[in-house]
């Protein structure tokens, strides 16, 4: 009933027409990443996600994962393991990983649509390869050569998967509180002891081994977040020749029962003197973790995008099929018993909101992913620096906005179905339940807002914002005389000016009172998201007009942009007013007086 | 883990301090409804909901209802039936029903807090008595004397329950399409044949009989909504002496599997020549249905309020207990491992949003309920007319806003828990799933918006709005010289003026194009909701200041009102901008071009 069709046309529009990925890949030296190759990857990814993993989405929700308490072994729902084997055999696991470790070495910009399709097709399934990706990043950037050889290669080849073991019962956002201990064994290894919770893919039946990246404290560690180190702890010990040895003392103790993503194994992991090795410097584990986390945050943003798109597709089909009432302006289909509900303005409002947030959000997310390639491969050091600043700035925006918009999009999509949206059979409610995790894990929306405001704006003095405002300025200047874009350029200039002014205001207020940062953060993040989307929608119209696509596509981009500018961008009015009101309305009430 | 404590202090503040229910009841002739009696009812209701039905909330979610397909009998979760028996024996079923039919004859204003407590404690359980209430209204207003005697009394006594059988697979919002047939048997009865879906409490094990109020078409019925009649169809036929006779030909064919309210039996009901009698005039069934539906819509608004409050209570407790990070402005509890998260501005933002929407929404909802009493009992005919206009105007606002705010409040509450909010054990995700039905049933939010815009504003020429604007004007005039209220009175006057101006603008535009109504409806509804809440928050501050309550309560009301005016009321900026943009951005895109 609930289906998925990869939005290949819009994905190609984003890559080729707006982001100009062909020229980008040439500049960055990805000689092999021709348009033909990328197209073939997109086609094959569409086939795999539509026909192999999308049909398992409901099965996964109904079955969930099961745990054998005696052995700590997790069994995934029927079909999940086989789908992963296809995925691994076809080389998807290492799509964007370096060729020297067995990856395919493709740009992240080409990997990101594949990620979107996987998440749209089956979010819970997609969490297993996703977590490997975080481990890959940490091993790539912080692992010693032997660690890369022993652990990274099998992960990239898809033979093993990875996890990120951060959270403990008493510490989620505040990792400084963590208690898991690592005691040196004298042979260069450590004994890890402690309990980690919310460990996605902590155990499963996809692969023979799982590589846990675990935050823990050394005996001499300072208190707080500066005393945390990262360790590699394999589920099964690995012999010197790479073969599997004895089981390690780490086991899944329980599976969480969750609102959604039932097929994603959310494990309590018990480390009972498990043997691990240090990765990176002692007490510098948080830095290694941030490497994993930035990638993971962008990835979770894409999960939001994928879910939104799947929900929208199904809502759109329903809105075209469902006959109910006549258009207020007179029957549009007088030969039918009633008009399809897509004639009603309020149904169009819900659909266009989704369309504008999804297609705009796709540009926002893909662009951020493309910056990873620029930051690594651009021949110009200045360009690499700019990209790096911009990634840092955009990561919390992409993570928070694309996930919060997925809450909104799945909400509207469900609403389009009326009461049927509440019935499991239609599959819309699962999308809403699955989406609900995305604003919680990898840092809640509030944590993203603090990261943006505190770290990316204040500590880094708005370096990333300046780069983005520069992009806007350049675009507006280039198209200053383009009458057909004037309706977008004017408001975009205004919003960019206000964005800058608001940033300054907050900065000044924060010098007097640090709570001003926290009080502005959430509204500032969404203000930024809507401002960024205004830029991308203006770019989309310009790119469509400049393309050889049929007039219908040009019209659709223009009308959706108009909807965005008139109906969604005004949300910045509310956010700006909230920011202007400062911290006092939030801080005045005594904690005892909230009842 | 997830608990409920009836918010008696704020309920009393709403009733006694703001709505001045003592004077109201005296004027309306409710001699028995003394403050002592009302207080006793509130206390007993708190006890019953906190200790009897709240503990069944999770049980209900886990067990759900089950259907014996062979007999069509539905079994409710463990404890549900016994709780209903207590409820019925204690006379709660007829609390606000007329004494002449066995009710307690209390004002609706006194019944509405009881309703809120039931919904907060256990929404799914509350649906069983709720549906009886709709049937009661229809029977009271449209039933013949013998029908009242035969069916109304047992319902009011809680011995039987009622249903509303409207929806069919192909028609939900558009009842004009319905196909269920009623054929006269020649003896004054009719044979009803057809399938109804989404019938709440269509079958259960609480009582021996269930009275279905069914919409169907007579053989000579005109097409569309003007050819619909309403019939009374008992599950078990009733003998002339009131005793139960043979089973009727109506049976539950299936239970829907839903996102939430698992313990609420959502039935497919098959009528297979079931014997019924006409209620009201032939072909005038929609009018009788609207009688049920207005009550039901207010009631669903209160469901939203109750769920929001329960979610908030639990989020608040968690925010006080959970230690995580330090306040940006320096440690507030240096002796603890970290500060409780309630020190963080963004957590306060989420909590205060809930508090402002709940306490303001309580006034909005209770006031609407009090108008039912005024419309029936006020000695002044003019006052009755004004109240009637105002109920019509406020009903879609209360229904849509309190339910959409429950989506928002349960969202924020879940978010306060971080990842734990996604875990079933904490109970927060159930509240979010349960809340999700409230914006769908009894008319989606879009349907409420159309009712407000099309019927209550255009058809009735804004009669209800004029009354409400009159209340605002009177309040502002009364307090014009009150310096301590100036910070609220000024913005309230402005918003009232804009509200009126926007209404006129939409009306003028709609004369040229009816789609302008549909395009403005949703934003107009929420604009109205936030404007109305500004009035109630200003009234709350004035009432608190005028009361003998401790200064702490006066401060809490004032600070929450400040939060409302600076942080939530600015949402009207976005809605006003969307309204100003008109229908074009919604209607321009061709239905084929949404992909």
Determine the distance in angstroms separating the CA of B144 from the nearest CA of chain A, rounded to an integer.
32
Partners of B340 in the β-ladder:
B323
Cβ of A329 within 8 Å of Cβ of B515? The answer is: yes
Cβ of B347 within 8 Å of Cβ of A446? The answer is: yes
Q: Among partner residues A429, A521, A552, which is closest to B346 by beta-carbon distance?
A: A521
CA dihedral B295, B157, B271, B82 (to 10 degrees): 100
- Give per-residue pLDDT as tens, B508-561: 999 989 999 999 999 999 999 999 999 999 999 999 999 999 999 999 999 999
Contact at 8 Å (CB) between B165 and B215? yes
Residue B252 lies in a domain: no
Q: For residue A220, give the nearest of A189, A175, A182 by alpha carbon.
A: A182
Contact at 8 Å (CB) between A410 and A260? no
Query: What is the rounded CA–CA span in Å between residue B472 and residue B494?
Result: 11
* CA nearest to A419 within chain B: B440
Q: What percent of chain A has pLDDT over 90?
A: 95
Cβ of A259 within 8 Å of Cβ of B559? The answer is: no
Q: Among partner residues B324, B414, B441, which is closest to A172 by beta-carbon distance?
A: B324
Q: Among partner residues A345, A517, A590, which is closest to B515 by beta-carbon distance?
A: A345
Question: Average pLDDT for residues B382-410, to the nearest whole number?
Answer: 97
Q: How does residue B289 score in pLDDT terms, banded at 50, 70 and 90?
A: confident
Q: Among partner residues A259, A559, A570, which is closest to B577 by beta-carbon distance?
A: A570
Q: Which domain holds residue A538?
A: 455-586
Determine the distance in angstroms separating the CA of A171 from the nearest CA of chain B, rounded to an integer.
7
Interface test with A, best of B8, B168, B349 (most A CBs within 10 A): B349
Check residue B172 and give its pLDDT.
85
Question: Average pLDDT for residues B154-168, to the nearest whole number?
Answer: 96
Cα end-to-end distance, chain A, whole Å:
45
Check residue B262 and give its pLDDT.
98
DSSP state, B17? Answer: I
- Give per-residue pLDDT as tens, A252-268: 999 999 999 999 999 99
Residue B79 lies in a domain: no
Q: How does residue B155 score in pLDDT terms, banded at 50, 70 and 90?
A: very high
Cβ of A514 within 8 Å of Cβ of B560? The answer is: no
> A104: helix, coil or strand?
coil
In the set A168, A404, A442, A516, the catalytic residue is: A442
Interface test with A, best of B5, B165, B400, B419 (most A CBs within 10 A): B419
Q: Among partner residues B324, B590, B591, which is closest to A174 by beta-carbon distance?
A: B324
* CA nearest to A578 within chain B: B567
Residue A184 has pLDDT above 90, yes or no: yes
Residue A559 lies in a domain: yes
Check residue A242 and give its pLDDT.
94
Check residue A288 and give its pLDDT.
83
Residue B291 has pLDDT above 80, yes or no: no
Query: What is the rounded CA–CA span in Å between residue A413 and residue A431?
Result: 9
Residue A287 has pLDDT above 90, yes or no: no
Question: Average pLDDT for residues B493-511, to the nearest whole number?
Answer: 97
Residue A586 has pLDDT above 80, yes or no: yes
Cβ of B352 within 8 Å of Cβ of A556? The answer is: no
Q: Which two tokens stand for residue A526?
A: 């969404």
Tokens 């789609």, residue located: B515
* CA nearest to B5 within chain A: A595
Determine the distance in angstroms separating the CA of A211 from the nearest CA of chain B, rounded to an integer.
23
Q: How does residue A28 score in pLDDT terms, banded at 50, 70 and 90?
A: very high
Residue B154 has pLDDT above 80, yes or no: yes
In the set B116, B137, B442, B516, the catalytic residue is: B442
DSSP class per residue in B105-130:
---HHHHHHHHHHHHHH-HHHHHHHH
Cβ of B521 within 8 Å of Cβ of A418? The answer is: no
- Give per-residue pLDDT as tens, A31-90: 899 999 999 999 999 999 999 999 999 999 999 999 999 999 999 999 999 999 999 999
Check residue B166 and give its pLDDT.
94
Residue A472 lies in a domain: yes
Examine the predicted complex and report whether its ipTM is higher than 0.90: yes
Catalytic site includes residue A442: yes
Cβ of A445 within 8 Å of Cβ of B566? The answer is: no
Check residue B584 and give its pLDDT.
96
Cβ of B345 within 8 Å of Cβ of A518? The answer is: yes
Q: How far is the CA of B38 from the CAs of B15, B27, B56, B77, B107, in angstroms?
A: 10, 16, 26, 32, 10
Least reliable range by pLDDT among A178-182, B294-298, B543-547, B566-570: B294-298
Cβ of A419 within 8 Å of Cβ of B343? The answer is: no
Check residue B442 and give its pLDDT.
95
Considering only residues A293 and B298, tell me which one the structure prediction assigns the higher pLDDT.
Answer: B298
Query: What is the rounded CA–CA span in Å between residue A41 and residue A35?
Result: 10
> A565: helix, coil or strand?
helix
Alpha helices (runs of H) in A328-427, residue ranges in sequence order: 345-377, 381-416
Residue A29 has pLDDT above 80, yes or no: yes
Q: Among partner residues B418, B423, B588, which is closest to A257 by beta-carbon distance?
A: B423
Q: Which chain B positions have a beta carbon within 8 Å of A457's beta carbon?
A: none
Query: What is the rounded CA–CA span in Å between residue A227 and residue A235?
Result: 25
> B191: helix, coil or strand?
strand
Question: Average pLDDT for residues B368-373, to the nearest whole number?
Answer: 97
From the centroid of its chain, how far is CA B53? 19
Long-range contacts (CB closer than 8 Å, 24 or more residues apart) made by A538-543: A538/A475, A538/A485, A538/A488, A538/A489, A538/A492, A539/A18, A539/A363, A539/A475, A540/A13, A540/A18, A540/A359, A540/A360, A540/A363, A541/A485, A541/A488, A542/A475, A542/A479, A542/A482, A542/A485, A543/A13, A543/A17, A543/A18
Residue A481 lies in a domain: yes
Interface test with B, best of A223, A225, A345 (most B CBs within 10 A): A345
Q: Which chain B positions have a beta carbon within 8 Å of A593's beta carbon?
A: 552, 555-556, 559
Residue A463 lies in a domain: yes
Residue A46 lies in a domain: no
Based on its alpha-carbon atoms, the radius of gyration of chain A, rounded to whole angstroms, reads 24
In this structure, the strands spanning B190-200 and B236-238 are unpaired
* CA nearest to A356 within chain B: B594
**Tally of domains in chain A:** 1
Q: Among partner residues A172, A257, A355, which is closest to B424 by beta-carbon distance?
A: A257
- Give per-residue pLDDT as tens, A3-23: 999 999 999 999 999 999 999
Q: Among partner residues A519, A522, A591, which is closest to B320 by beta-carbon distance?
A: A591
Q: How does residue A138 score in pLDDT terms, banded at 50, 70 and 90?
A: very high
Q: For residue B367, give the nearest of B405, B404, B393 by alpha carbon.
A: B393
Across all residues in chain A, what is the average pLDDT? 96
Question: Average pLDDT for residues B281-297, to the nearest whole number?
Answer: 88
Check residue B295 and give its pLDDT.
86
Determine the distance in angstroms separating the CA of A411 from the nearest CA of chain B, rounded to an integer.
9
Q: Which chain B positions have a beta carbon within 8 Å of A514's beta carbon?
A: 328-330
Query: What is the rounded CA–CA span in Å between residue B9 and residue B547?
Result: 13
Check residue B19 and give its pLDDT.
98
Q: How far is the CA of A359 from the CAs of A362, A403, A405, A483, B534, in angstroms?
A: 5, 14, 12, 24, 36
- Give per-residue pLDDT as tens, A428-462: 999 999 999 999 999 999 999 999 999 999 999 99
Q: Which chain B positions have a beta carbon within 8 Å of A408's beta carbon?
A: none
Cβ of A566 within 8 Å of Cβ of B555? The answer is: no
Residue B156 lies in a domain: no
Query: What is the rounded CA–CA span in Å between residue B207 and residue B277?
Result: 21
Q: How does residue A1 score in pLDDT terms, banded at 50, 70 and 90?
A: confident
Check residue A289 and give its pLDDT.
84
Contact at 8 Å (CB) between B367 and B19? yes
Interface test with B, best of A498, A544, A574 (most B CBs within 10 A): A574
Cβ of B450 within 8 Å of Cβ of A591? The answer is: no
- Give per-residue pLDDT as tens, A227-255: 999 999 999 999 999 999 999 999 999 99
Cβ of B593 within 8 Å of Cβ of A559? The answer is: yes
- Give per-residue pLDDT as tens, A381-420: 999 999 999 999 999 999 999 999 999 999 999 999 999 9
Tokens 């003394």, residue located: B34
> A592: helix, coil or strand?
helix
Check residue A95 and give its pLDDT.
96
Check residue A134 and give its pLDDT.
87
Check residue A107 and give its pLDDT.
97
Q: Which two tokens stand for residue B444?
A: 């989606």
Q: For residue A586, give the nearest of A576, A574, A578 by alpha carbon.
A: A578
C-beta atoms surrounding A385 within 10 Å: 14
Q: How does residue A362 score in pLDDT terms, banded at 50, 70 and 90?
A: very high
Q: Which chain A positions have a beta carbon within 8 Å of B325's beta carbon?
A: 173-174, 176
Residue B441 has pLDDT above 90, yes or no: yes
Determine the distance in angstroms separating the CA of B267 from the nearest CA of chain A, rounded to an integer.
12
Partners of A165 in the β-ladder:
A214
Determine the distance in angstroms separating the CA of B413 from the nearest CA of chain A, rounded to an integer.
12
Based on its alpha-carbon atoms, the radius of gyration of chain B, rounded to whole angstroms, reads 24
Determine the distance in angstroms separating the CA of A73 from the nearest CA of chain B, rounded to an integer.
21
């Amino acid at each position: 009933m609930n289906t998925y069709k990869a939005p290949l046309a819009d994905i190609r529009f984003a890559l080729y027409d707006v982001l100009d990925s062909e020229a980008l890949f040439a500049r960055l030296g990805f000689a092999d990443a021709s348009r033909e190759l990328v197209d073939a990857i997109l086609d094959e990814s569409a086939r795999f996600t539509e026909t192999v993993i999308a049909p398992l989405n409901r099965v996964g929700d109904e079955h969930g994962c099961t745990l054998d308490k005696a052995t700590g072994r997790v069994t995934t729902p029927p079909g999940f393991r086989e789908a992963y084997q296809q995925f691994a055999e076809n080389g998807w696991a290492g799509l964007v990983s370096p060729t020297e470790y067995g990856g395919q070495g493709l740009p992240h910009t080409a990997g990101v649509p594949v990620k979107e399709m996987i998440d749209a097709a089956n979010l819970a399934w997609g969490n297993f390869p996703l977590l490997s990706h975080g481990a890959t990043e940490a091993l790539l950037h912080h692992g010693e050569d032997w660690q890369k050889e022993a652990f990274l290669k099998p992960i990239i080849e898809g033979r093993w998967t990875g996890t990120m073991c951060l959270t403990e019962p008493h510490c989620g956002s505040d990792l400084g509180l963590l208690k898991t201990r690592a005691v040196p064994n004298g042979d260069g290894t450590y004994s890890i002891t402690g309990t980690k919770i919310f460990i996605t893919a902590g155990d499963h039946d996809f692969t023979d081994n799982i590589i846990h990246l675990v935050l823990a404290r050394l005996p001499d560690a300072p208190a707080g977040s500066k005393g945390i180190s990262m360790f590699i702890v394999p589920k099964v010990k690995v012999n010197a020749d790479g073969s599997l040895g004895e089981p390690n003392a780490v086991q899944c103790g329980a599976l969480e029962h969750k609102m959604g993503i039932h097929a994603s194994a959310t494990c309590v992991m018990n480390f009972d003197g498990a043997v691990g090795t240090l990765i990176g410097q002692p007490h510098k584990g948080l830095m290694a973790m941030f490497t994993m986390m930035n990638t993971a945050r962008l990835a979770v943003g894409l999960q939001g995008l994928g879910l939104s798109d799947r929900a929208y597709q199904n809502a759109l089909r329903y809105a075209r099929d469902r006959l109910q009432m006549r258009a207020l302006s007179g029957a549009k289909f007088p030969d039918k018993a009633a008009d399809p509900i897509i004639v009603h303005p309020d149904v169009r409002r819900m659909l266009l909101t989704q369309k504008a947030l999804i297609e705009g959000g796709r540009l926002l997310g893909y662009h951020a992913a493309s910056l990873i390639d620029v930051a690594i491969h651009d021949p110009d050091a200045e360009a690499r620096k700019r990209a790096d600043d911009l990634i840092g700035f955009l990561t919390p925006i992409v993570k928070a906005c694309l996930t919060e918009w997925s809450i909104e999009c799945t909400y509207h999509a469900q609403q389009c179905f009326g009461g049927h949206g509440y019935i499991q059979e239609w599959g819309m409610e699962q999308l809403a339940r699955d989406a609900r995790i995305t604003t919680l894990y990898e840092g809640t929306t509030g944590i993203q807002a603090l990261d943006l405001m505190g770290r990316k704006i204040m500590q880094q003095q708005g370096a990333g914002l300046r780069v983005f405002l520069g992009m806007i300025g350049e675009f507006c200047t280039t198209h200053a005389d383009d009458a057909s874009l004037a309706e977008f350029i004017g408001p975009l200039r205004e919003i960019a000016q206000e964005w800058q002014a608001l940033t300054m205001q907050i900065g000044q207020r924060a010098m007097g009172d640090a709570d001003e940062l926290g009080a502005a953060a959430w509204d500032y993040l969404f203000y930024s998201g809507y401002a960024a989307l205004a830029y991308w929608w203006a770019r989309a119209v310009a790119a469509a007009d400049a393309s050889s696509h049929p007039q219908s596509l040009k019209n659709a981009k223009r009308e959706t942009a108009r909807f965005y500018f008139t109906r969604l961008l005004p949300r910045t009015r509310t956010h700006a007013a909230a920011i202007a009101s400062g911290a006092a309305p939030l801080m005045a009430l005594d904690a005892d007086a909230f009842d």
